[in-house]
Amino acid sequence: MDFSSFLTSLGTSFVIFVVLMLLFAWLSRKPGNAVVYYPNRILKGLEPWEGGSRTRNPFSWIREAFSSTERDVINISGVDTAVYFVFLSTVLGILVLSGIVLLPVLLPIAATDDGLTRNGNTTTSKGTFNDLDKLSMANIEEKSPKLWAFLIAVYWVSVVTYVLSWKAYKHVSALRANALMSPEVRPEQFAVLVRDLPNVTPGQTRKDQVDSYFRSIYPDTFYRSLVVTNNKKVDKIWGELEGYKKKLARAEAVCEGSKTRPTTRTGFLGLCGKQVDSIEYYNEKIKELTQKLEAEQKVTLREKQLGSALVFFTNRVTAALAAQSLHAQMVDRWTVTEAPEPRELIWSNLTIKFFERIVRQYIIYIVVFLTIVFYIIPIGFISAITTLENLRKFLPFLKPIIDRNEIKTVLEAYLPQLALIVFLALLPMFLLFLSKMEGIPSGSHVIRAASGKYFYFSVLNVFIGVTIGGTLFRTMKSIEENPNSLVPLLAKSLPVNATFFLTFVALKFFVGYGLELSRIVPLIIYHLQRKYLCKTEAEIRAAWFPGDISYATRVPTDMLVITIVLCYSVIAPVIIPFGVLYFALGWLVLRNQALKVYVPAYESYGRMWPHMHNRIMGALLLYQVTIKKFYNAFCHTALEVACQELKQTPNMEQIFRSYIPPSLISQKQEDGQLEDALSRVSGTGSSV
Amino acid sequence: MDFSSFLTSLGTSFVIFVVLMLLFAWLSRKPGNAVVYYPNRILKGLEPWEGGSRTRNPFSWIREAFSSTERDVINISGVDTAVYFVFLSTVLGILVLSGIVLLPVLLPIAATDDGLTRNGNTTTSKGTFNDLDKLSMANIEEKSPKLWAFLIAVYWVSVVTYVLSWKAYKHVSALRANALMSPEVRPEQFAVLVRDLPNVTPGQTRKDQVDSYFRSIYPDTFYRSLVVTNNKKVDKIWGELEGYKKKLARAEAVCEGSKTRPTTRTGFLGLCGKQVDSIEYYNEKIKELTQKLEAEQKVTLREKQLGSALVFFTNRVTAALAAQSLHAQMVDRWTVTEAPEPRELIWSNLTIKFFERIVRQYIIYIVVFLTIVFYIIPIGFISAITTLENLRKFLPFLKPIIDRNEIKTVLEAYLPQLALIVFLALLPMFLLFLSKMEGIPSGSHVIRAASGKYFYFSVLNVFIGVTIGGTLFRTMKSIEENPNSLVPLLAKSLPVNATFFLTFVALKFFVGYGLELSRIVPLIIYHLQRKYLCKTEAEIRAAWFPGDISYATRVPTDMLVITIVLCYSVIAPVIIPFGVLYFALGWLVLRNQALKVYVPAYESYGRMWPHMHNRIMGALLLYQVTIKKFYNAFCHTALEVACQELKQTPNMEQIFRSYIPPSLISQKQEDGQLEDALSRVSGTGSSV
């Protein structure tokens, strides 16, 4: 690729971005699309358009994004999102400050030397672009005193990164503290999660065991406990019940629309069996399942108690103290940690025992390691098999389709990469699955764990793989001749590879952020679903519900870009403006999306920060051991924070209730019944 | 060294041991020596001889050592000592169980092969002993199927080590828990140490700052606080005062003995100046200094408060919770840790700030690293200078002494090693000094830190240095010819070096433990001091006071031996009986010393255990990441342990007082005065 073709592809991406942005400006003004472009505002009960008028400037979203304050972001999208923006603006600051010094100083120095031509180094410029290479360190002659300027530039970038990271740490720390000391009552601040309960002595219930243990340690502040039960069966019945309720609502909607009573078959998937009136049938089923559920709930609560529990305290300080403290002398008993938010608890992971968790963790680490290192082998194997020849040979019935010219062209272009594309699309899900298998008890923690794995995957494969791999292949022959030449070769080839990554970063953001902003894919899916599938209000709502901002893939991608840009910032400073553009555009587009589109699935009060912070440091290739000490304030609630006064006396019963899984909540709305069913597990002896 | 000379030196050492043991049996029966051989019993108020009779069997100490239970050890010498014996017996168990299987299986296998002679491997047997080498893996031919037996033996040793370590962990954990949940009131269980206090706001005192902070977090259980003050000046005055008190007691004792009033000079060191009556002069001085001290105490307590404090709670659970919990959002403020025992607090380290501690720690690590790697350079340099020639040349006045024949012989033998001997003797002190410089707040922690450094020093220098270094030097020539031969050479040379370490272990224990048991050196020092220096009871007591068991050097030495023995257990199983002898003899001798001699300087409830445990694992060359999880129960007090009932209601005032440094305690015995002076720092607003 020469310089002009680089400019061409850059121009094309830019045009795509502009088109998508115009599309967004046009589509987002149509009232029917409001639920796609402003779902978060609608769910918050706000007008889709600020000020209520939709006949405004089509680019006012930019003004709105810039004028929004951090407080707006926290109010509308939570602390986690605000922390993500601190990350984006910190990285932006680092790159801008680096660029201001590096670009005017290093570019002229590099341009005025001519190491590339003088060394006759023509092999490396093949497949890259000569003109850009002339602006990089690759153009400096060996042992030239001009290299000192590049060394000093490394220190400048490091100092800028340290100072801005330290400021960001203090800022994020304050954000977290402010959110945690909020006078709002949040159930998770009053609870702790207790795992690894030892076996009960005969005649003792789990409930008694937990209550007596915690009451003896916290006589004044223990409230009550919620023993985790085996909800497999009750969950299944509850799922069926909910399914029939949805079907009933749908049938009623159909009935209202067409004025005829819909019918259904009672057999497998409604395809066979006796034909009956849908509404009557569903009502009957619901009644039957409700009874079954009630019975199963009682059995579950009474007989299916497992070895872990949630314990509630009457004040936040005790809960914070308990969550950070060692409770049992033996390592594999009474593990107490902070309780996650009720909505993000992974119930099935709560009862995995201590040693099993350790073993699982190591197995997962090995699996991830093998995936990162060897994923290319099965993919290469599949690619080798799925050729057009083989398709014709083993699936002869496809022959007439394959042999059509236009399809043949497309297949020839994409078939070899099909396996890789499918793999890369499924990878985040696979990593989330692996992280969940580790036995992590909360959803946000699973996302952080998956994000870390994804980061290592992308850095090792994209960055190191291309740099080292490319260098190695190109120079394999000279290495064979003289093994000692490996190190200088690597150092020499890094600058040349910079141009590849420049293209990578430059092309990535225009198309990616254009798609993000215009939401073309969700828009099409929503309209299709609404037209052909959705019958009830709940179904339509589910069709446009935007989900959360998906940190599990977004943060690692940003991290990959910052790693690339920082590493090449001194070697080829021309990469910096592209990095700035990536993060500036990202800030702008995501600000809009956070304020108007995505609905956070959990709130971890910025626990992602230490991961971001540490990887920025890692990106500097200066691993800071001390950084670990900074983790604490993000893993635990500082007591000075927890002891702030609350706005109102906490309603402990409500806090306790928020943790009861929906499948265990009695369907009948009489409170007495509910109380009775639950009291078996948690009511007795509590200090209510 | 051939086999017969090895046997000779072994025999000599054994004879020395027997002689020393007989000496011990004889000397320890003399009543005048009781304070040297039974100081711990005497200080505990027990009879020196069990049963009160000293006309017993001279070897009954062996019976007493064997019949003593763990409870006796804990009562007389504390949990730390009991844990040390668990360590000794665990290692002994590992070696015995390994030896039972390895010796009868591997020795015949090795002896019936003849790889050494067949390979013509005669170079390696030079400088070692042929006969023992024939019993080691060195005698097995390459690629022989017999090597499988050695591989299986590795697994056997590993499994034995894991199982016994796990049992020991549970045992020690229970010991610690039992001691911590004792119903005795121990001040350190009610206190926490708070460092890194932020700057006070104008008009606020440190005391108010600490009190209001902790009262807001622990409204019900906060008792009062003790702000650390700058005691430099008050310590100096108190030291002078104590000195004069000692001198007075001494003068009074002299006066009583000789019936003449002793005199002294008032000038420098009592050597010049006016001659005065000692007793009168000292009394006057004491009166004067007491007044000065009182005034300085008031000034110190009022105006010299520093940025750290001890905070007291009314129950143990709160103190344990507080010590484990994060108090401030920012990492460099309000660091709360467990309070050490009053007697082991290092006051000067308490006020070192967070970031300074980190910086100091890294500097110390670098210094230790440099010491371990490069210590031989200055020592070699000094050795090169301090030759007889140079002594004659530069210190000509020594000539007549040096040239005497007998002195010349001794000097020729020891002069080259003098620097090394001095260095090795001073090393533990140097490492203790370095560890203290890290800013560690408690004495026991300093000893653990120094012990770790000593372990790395000895393993790297003695073990790896000799093994790898010896191998490298011997084979430098063949490596130069073919670099790829390095790895097999190392693997081949390890077995041959086993014989060196066999000698090392074998010779070490007989002489070392013989000296330990007979206490010849302290005995001589005591008798000399008593005869020529000591005048008062307090001075005599100081002359025989035994000090503690000095884990800082003892544990690393044991660790070095277990590392050597475990690593060679399979390669040269003949080393195992010597290891067994080392630990068995150590157990026996130290059991006697712990029960009768040494007085523990602190009680850390077995916190040394994780270090021992981890290094046994390290000795297996199988670094276990999971082990770190086991640390917790030794670093903190488990809450289930802390919430045990106490025998009596704790006298909080007494607990608080136990932490006041002696130099700050008012000399006048009227309690009102004491209360008044202290109330400025800690009385106001407390909940007494």
Give chain B's length.
688
Pick from A170, A317, A324: CB nearest B324: A324
The span from the CA of A350 to the CA of A661, in Å, is: 13
Per-window interface: A 504-543 vs B, CB < 8 A? none
Please give the residue that has the higher pLDDT: either B106 or A508. B106
The span from the CA of A153 to the CA of A133, in Å, is: 18
Q: For residue B170, what is the nearest residue in chain A, using CA coordinates?
A: A330
Contact A90, A82 (CB under 8 A): no
Q: Which residues contact A596 (CB under 8 A, 6 or more apart)?
A: A37, A38, A39, A40, A41, A61
A317 touching chain B per CB within 8 A: yes
The span from the CA of A647 to the CA of A522, in Å, is: 40
- pLDDT tens-digit series, residues A383-425: 777 677 777 777 777 777 777 777 777 676 666 667 777 777 7
Residue A685 DSSP one-character state = T
Q: What is the pLDDT of residue B630?
A: 44
**A326/B636 CB distance under 8 A:** yes
- In the predicted structure, residue B486 carries a pLDDT above the cut 50: no
- pLDDT tens-digit series, residues B468-479: 555 555 555 554
If you write DSSP's letter for every residue of B5-74 in order, what string do you get?
HHHHHHHHHHHHHHHHHHHHHHHTTSGGGHHHHSHHHHHTT--SSGGG-SSS-TTHHHHHHHH--HHHHH
Q: Which residues contact A274 (CB under 8 A, 6 or more apart)?
A: A265, A266, A267
Which tokens belong to B369? 């690293």
- In the predicted structure, residue B126 carries a pLDDT above the cut 80: no
- In the predicted structure, residue B457 carries a pLDDT above the cut 90: no
Which tokens belong to A649? 């006396």
Pick from A326, A630, A641: CB nearest B638: A326
- pLDDT tens-digit series, residues A584-595: 988 888 888 888
Nearest one of B135, B95, B12 to B506, comparing CA atoms? B12
Nearest one of A156, A115, A118 to A133, comparing CA atoms? A115
**A329/B629 CB distance under 8 A:** no
Give the residue from A333, A630, A639 with the most B CB atoms within 10 Å of its CB, the best one to mutate: A639
Pick from A317, A329, A358: CB nearest B633: A329
Pick from A216, A220, A640: CB nearest B327: A640
Q: What is the pLDDT of residue B131?
A: 59
B359 touching chain A per CB within 8 A: no
Per-window interface: B 327-356 vs A, CB < 8 A? 327-331, 334
A213 touching chain B per CB within 8 A: yes
Nearest one of A138, A186, A165 to A315, comparing CA atoms? A186
CA angle B156, B160, B164 (to 5 degrees): 175
Q: Which residues contact B376 (CB under 8 A, 6 or more apart)?
A: none
- pLDDT tens-digit series, residues B146-195: 777 777 777 788 888 888 888 888 888 888 888 887 777 788 888 899 99
Q: Which residues contact A475 (CB under 8 A, 6 or more apart)?
A: A485, A489, A493
If you write DSSP's letter for every residue of A35-74 in order, what string do you get?
HHHSHHHHHTT--SSGGG-SSS-TTHHHHHHHH--HHHHH
**A329/B174 CB distance under 8 A:** yes
Residue A49 CA, chain-centre distance (Å), reads 28
B626 chain-A contacts, CB cut-off 8 A: 358
B643 chain-A contacts, CB cut-off 8 A: 216-217
- In the predicted structure, residue B45 carries a pLDDT above the cut 50: yes
A324 chain-B contacts, CB cut-off 8 A: 324-326
pTM above 0.90? no
Q: What is the pLDDT of residue B677?
A: 37
The span from the CA of B28 to the CA of B17, in Å, is: 16
CA angle A445, A451, A452 (to 5 degrees): 95
**B177/A329 CB distance under 8 A:** yes
A358 chain-B contacts, CB cut-off 8 A: 626, 629
Q: What is the pLDDT of residue B467?
A: 56
Q: What is the pLDDT of residue A112?
A: 73
Which tokens belong to B625? 């990441």
**B329/A173 CB distance under 8 A:** yes
Burial class (CB in 10 A: 0-12, 13-18, 19+), A538: middle
Give the residue from A195, A311, A325 with the most B CB atoms within 10 Å of its CB, the best one to mutate: A325
B632 chain-A contacts, CB cut-off 8 A: 326, 331
Nearest one of B85, B47, B53, B45 to B69, comparing CA atoms? B85
Q: Which residues contact B569 (CB under 8 A, 6 or more apart)?
A: B95, B98, B99, B102, B153, B157, B575, B576, B579
Contact A475, A402 (CB under 8 A): no
Pick from A174, A317, A326: CB nearest B324: A326
Helix or strand run (H / E) with residue A228? strand A222-229
Strand B191-195 versus strand A275-277 pairing type: unpaired
The span from the CA of A410 to the CA of A423, in Å, is: 19
The span from the CA of B362 to the CA of A625, in Å, is: 10
Provide the Cα torsion B532, B535, B541, B542; round to 10°.
Answer: -70
Phi/psi class of residue A413: alpha, beta or left (left: φ > 0; alpha: ψ in -120 to 50)?
alpha
Section B386-390 average pLDDT: 72
**A638/B329 CB distance under 8 A:** yes
The percentage of chain B sitting over the pLDDT mark of 70, rounded to a whole number, equals: 73
Pick from B322, B331, B632: CB nearest A326: B632
Q: What is the pLDDT of residue A670?
A: 44
B241 touching chain A per CB within 8 A: no
Q: What is the pLDDT of residue B97?
A: 92
The span from the CA of B583 to the CA of B554, in Å, is: 12
Pick from A322, A329, A633: CB nearest B329: A633
ipTM for this model: 0.70
Which tokens belong to A459? 């850095």
CA angle A153, A155, A158 (to 5 degrees): 110
Size of interface A-B (CB pairs under 8 A): 96
The span from the CA of B320 to the CA of B298, in Å, is: 32
Phi/psi class of residue A296: alpha, beta or left (left: φ > 0; alpha: ψ in -120 to 50)?
alpha
**A326/B177 CB distance under 8 A:** no
B328 chain-A contacts, CB cut-off 8 A: 633, 638, 640
Residue A299 DSSP one-character state = H
A642 chain-B contacts, CB cut-off 8 A: 217
Q: Which residue ranges of chain A lie beneath pLDDT 50?
A: 1, 120-129, 479, 483, 485-487, 489-491, 495, 622-627, 629-631, 669-688
In B174-251 the beta strands, taken as DSSP E runs, fall at: 191-195, 222-229
Lowest-confidence range among A424-438, A578-592, B104-118, B504-518?
B104-118
**B636/A330 CB distance under 8 A:** no
Give the residue from A176, A215, A321 with the most B CB atoms within 10 Å of its CB, the best one to mutate: A321
B640 touching chain A per CB within 8 A: yes
Strand B191-195 versus strand B305-313 pairing type: antiparallel
**A636/B325 CB distance under 8 A:** yes
- In the predicted structure, residue B241 carries a pLDDT above the cut 50: yes
**A633/B330 CB distance under 8 A:** yes
**B217/A326 CB distance under 8 A:** no
Q: For residue B322, what is the nearest residue in chain A, using CA coordinates?
A: A321
If you write DSSP's letter for every residue of A133-159 in order, what string do you get?
HTTSGGGSPTT-TTHHHHHHHHHHHHH
Instruction: List phi, psi (to 5°) of A308.
Output: -150, 165
Q: What value does the mean pLDDT of chain B take?
A: 76
Beta bridge partners, A319, equal: none
Section B232-252 average pLDDT: 86
Q: For residue B176, what is the nearest residue in chain A, using CA coordinates?
A: A329
Q: For residue A357, what is the nearest residue in chain B, using CA coordinates?
A: B626
Contact B392, B401 (CB under 8 A): no
A217 touching chain B per CB within 8 A: yes
Provide the Cα torsion A501, A503, A506, A509; round to 10°.
Answer: -80
Residue A153, amino acid: A
A173 touching chain B per CB within 8 A: yes
A360 touching chain B per CB within 8 A: no
CA angle A71, A76, A80 (to 5 degrees): 75
Section B289-297 average pLDDT: 87
Give the residue from B321, B484, B631 with the most A CB atoms within 10 Å of its CB, the best one to mutate: B321
The span from the CA of B560 to the CA of B567, in Å, is: 11
